[in-house]
Amino acid sequence: MNRKYYVTGVLLIAATIVATAIVYSRLPNMVPVHWDFKGQANGYSPKWELFLMLPGIMAGIMVLFRFMPWLSPQRWEVDSFRSTYLYIMLVVLGMMTCLQIVTLWAGLGTQINAGRIVLGLVSLLFALLGNVLGKVRRNFYIGVRTPWTLANERVWNATHRLAAQTFVLSGLVGLVMTAAGLDNRAALAVLITGALIPVLYSLILYKQLERAGQL
């Protein structure tokens, strides 16, 4: 069952490498890899690094996800939500594959607002992650890991139910805003707000339970 996730991850890495190889001869020696809020390129790398950067990061993420469960102490394992855990890995790898495609697309000289597209992908990532956050159980690696969620399982579960809503909502709003051509900074502010609300909530809920003697 777990093998299919890792096989899919390897295929995504292979796809980034193959796509890079197909267009490599048409890329300039220096390709844009970072853009500002206005969509202007402000960071460049030699084109050969495209074979190493994102594919290498993706491979590293797969290795981490493979061994993090083994590193988990007792009662903090990911076994109870392993399919969700591996789904999150694939979502992150899928986003990086898309980022590689955007980089190649921009490197070919296509007139696109790469910064807006990247922000749209991050918004989509928020929505996809939010869709499963409610299934994530207490662990040291993924989720809203604040001192208060890690200290109490009830706070963890309640926080992640809320985070599932705020991540999906902020992700969808950010996606609509980027698609509509609104200011990228406004869309980013929406995403940051969606991520911070559960953090604040975990503190408030913990203190409420503490005062009520329910910890």
CB burial readout 113-133, b (16+ within 10 A) else e: bbbbbbbbbbbbbbbbbbbbb
Token pair of 132, please?
């499963």
Which range, of 2-11, 68-77, 201-210, averages the lowest pLDDT?
68-77
Q: How far apart are CA 121 and CA 188, in angstroms?
A: 12
Q: What pLDDT does 137 receive?
A: 93
Own/partner long-range contacts of 141-148 (Cβ < 8 Å, ≥24 apart): 141/68, 141/72, 141/78, 142/85, 142/88, 144/198, 144/199, 144/202, 146/199, 146/202, 146/203, 148/202, 148/203, 148/205, 148/206
Q: What pLDDT does 169 receive?
A: 98
Q: Where are the domains of the chain?
A: 1-112, 114-215
What is the distance of C-alpha 64 from the center of its chain?
Answer: 15
Q: What mean pLDDT do residues 31-44 have?
A: 84
Of all residues in the chain, the percent with pLDDT exceeding 90 is 79
CB of 174 closer than 8 Å to CB of 118: no
Q: How far apart are CA 122 and CA 120, in angstroms?
A: 5
Length in residues, the chain: 215
Which range, of 23-37, 115-129, 143-157, 198-212, averages the lowest pLDDT?
23-37
Q: What mean pLDDT do residues 68-90 have?
A: 89
Does residue 1 carry a pLDDT above 80?
Answer: no
Does residue 37 carry a pLDDT above 80?
Answer: no
3-state SS record for 60-72: HHHHHHHHHHHHC
- Average of per-residue pLDDT values in the chain: 93
Using pLDDT thresholds of 50, 70 and 90, give the confidence band for residue 43: confident
Using pLDDT thresholds of 50, 70 and 90, give the confidence band for residue 171: very high
To the nearest 10 degrees (0 to 180), the angle between helices 3-23 and 82-107 is: 0
Q: What pLDDT does 99 receive?
A: 94
Q: What pLDDT does 91 receive?
A: 96
Q: Could you tell me which of 81, 88, 14, 83 has the C-alpha nearest to residue 51?
A: 14
CB of 35 closer than 8 Å to CB of 118: yes
Q: What mean pLDDT do residues 21-41 have?
A: 88
Does residue 191 carry a pLDDT above 80?
Answer: yes
pLDDT digit string (tens) for 92-150? 999 999 999 999 999 998 888 888 999 999 999 999 999 999 999 999 999 999 999 99
Q: How far apart are CA 8 and CA 56, in angstroms?
A: 16
Q: For 136, list phi and psi in degrees, rounded to 5.
A: -80, 125
